[in-house]
Structure 1
Amino acid sequence: MNWDFENPHTYDITVQADDIDELGHANNAIYVRWLERCAWQHSKSLGLGLDEYRELDRAMAIVHHQIDYLAAGYEGDELTMATWIVHWDKKLRMTRHFQLCRKSDGATLLRARTTFACIELSTGRPKRMPASFIDGYGKAISADTKAEP
């Protein structure tokens, strides 16, 4: 794959019949579900899953999506979603970049950016990232994404 950045965390997807909409391709809403699953999988790989979020009374909650749908996915397509943490302030905000590619031809179907804010689960209010978030998510910042705004 021709990834936008080096060292992606990847999530493999096969487009299912239930993913297809009336236009005959993967519904735009399903792409959002794939973004979420890829982000969760990456967080878990860094030791920051739902159990850790609950124990810390903190979570990274989505505050903004920017999605560019570049090409359609069709039933049976084998896809790979990649993600990178491209920006974070080590306090409240973190931004992920996503890229979705079709395995058969390497075509990029989607690029997205999602901004997250750290919240306290018990109140839903913004709260500074705990040290374990800074340590865990900090491992995911690679040299080629650190300069990304």
Structure 2
Amino acid sequence: MTIKATPTFRHPITISPIDIDEMGHVNNAVYLQWVQEAVVRYWQHASPIEAQGRLLWVALKHEITYRVPLFLNDKVEALVTATGTRGSRASFATMFRRGDDLVTEVRSSWCCVDATTRRPRRIADDIARVFLPG
């Protein structure tokens, strides 16, 4: 079953000096940390506390398109949108914006995992609605 909608979760990003590489901009690997943080925060913000205790999320795939570099003093925001669910998988689009500029976009696939067994768990309709209401 695939459910589609477009609620967006806004997550501010703070760029630290450790995020900057020898070229003077945010290192590409840092974006993966930011995606992980933003999607998990989205889950924590939107889901019931009891669901947070029994379900975990594991990243399966990230596809990243870098458009322009980010620098130490830039103000950045991650906008996370759930784009669908199927079985134990959920897909998300995470857009990193500096003001009106889209600097990086990430399409990712995540697996819902039972917190006790650590095995994939089908995403129930009530959980899908946490991300994809409507």
Query: When the two structures are superposed, what TM-score results if normalisation uses the length of structure 2?
Result: 0.83
- Structure 1 unaligned regions, length at least 5: 144-149
Q: Does 1:141 align with 2:123?
A: no
* Contact 1:98–1:111, Cα closer than 8 Å, also in 2: yes
Secondary structure of the 1:139 match is helix
Q: Matched residues in 1 for 2:68 and 2:88: separation?
A: 33
- How far off is 1:12 after superposition? 1.0
- The yes-or-no answer on 1:94 pairing with 2:90 is yes
Taking a change above 3 Å as real, the CA distance of residues 44 and 19 of structure 1, as seen in their structure-2 partners, is same
- Offset of residue 113 of structure 1: 0.9
What whole-Å deviation, never above 9, does each CA across 1:9-44 have from its counterpart, x for those lacking one? 111123221110011100111111111111111101
Deviations 1:89-139, CA, capped at 9 Å, x for gaps: 2x3110000100102xx211111111011223344322223x4xx324413
RMSD between aligned alpha carbons?
2.2
Aligned residues between the structures: 130
The C-alpha deviation readout for 1:27-71, integer Å capped at 9, x for no partner, is 11111111111111110111256x7444x2x32211111111111
How far off is 1:87 after superposition? 0.8
CA distance in 2, matches of 1:93, 1:124: 14
**Retained in 2: the 8 A contact 1:46–1:137?**
no
Using the aligned pairs only, state the percent identity.
21
Structure 1 match to 2:119? 125
User: Which residue of 77, 82, 98 corresponds with 2:79?
Assistant: 82
Q: Distance in 2 between matches of 1:136 and 1:126?
A: 14
Q: Partner letter of residue 34 of structure 2?
A: W
What SS class does the counterpart of residue 131 from structure 2 fall into? coil
**Superposed structure 1 runs of 4+ greater than 6 Å apart:** none
**Distance in 2 separating the partners of 1:48 and 1:18:** 34
Query: 8 Å contact 1:46–1:136 — kept in the other structure?
Result: no
The answer on 1:36 being equivalent to 2:36 is yes
